[in-house]
Amino acid sequence: MPGFIFKKGKVGIVSKSGTLTYEAADQVVKQGFGITTAIGIGGDPIIGTTTKEAVELLMNDPETEAIVMIGEIGGQLEADAARWIKATGNKKPVVGFIAGQTAPKGRTMGHAGAIVGGSDDTAQAKMEILRENGIHVVESPAEIGKKVAEVLN
């Protein structure tokens, strides 16, 4: 990863989007915090690591003090992670963003995993589930760095 974007720090990132991983890392670094680990899980229908598994790794990492979780429309991975975070006591602040807020229902967006199949797959539904489970949800990826600074300060 480019050294001018990723600097060592205390924020972990879990993301379905490579581009938004870079964006979040850049914003976090510009806020003065840096990154412990960035885990790109991708958004394909069949994946090797779930969002929940990646979040759990960061929750158990002593160097990580906050987590950025970037998801997207389609599937239940973000909801599963959010429910797990709440059920285990939410030991670290989590900032969440869900991409695809303007995606039309039933259309694949970007890759095969990003498709709204039901009402719980929409960005709005996922954002509400994240909020209900104690995650600090931002409406735009441009707000990630500021929200991380807010929760860490």
Catalytic residues: 111
Q: Residue 138: CA atoms inside 13 Å, Cβ hemisphere, count?
A: 21
Question: Backbone phi, then psi, for 87, in 5-degree steps?
Answer: -65, -30
* Residue given tokens 């003090």 in the structure block: 65
Question: Backbone phi, then psi, for 88, in 5-degree steps?
Answer: -95, 5
Residue 53 corresponds to which tokens in the numbers above? 């598994």
Q: Whole-angstrom Cα distance, residue 51 to residue 65?
A: 18
Residues in CB range of 135: below 8 A, 6 or more apart: 69, 82, 85, 94, 95, 96
| Contact criterion met (CB below 8 Å) for 43 and 71 | no
Residue 50 corresponds to which tokens in the numbers above? 């779930």
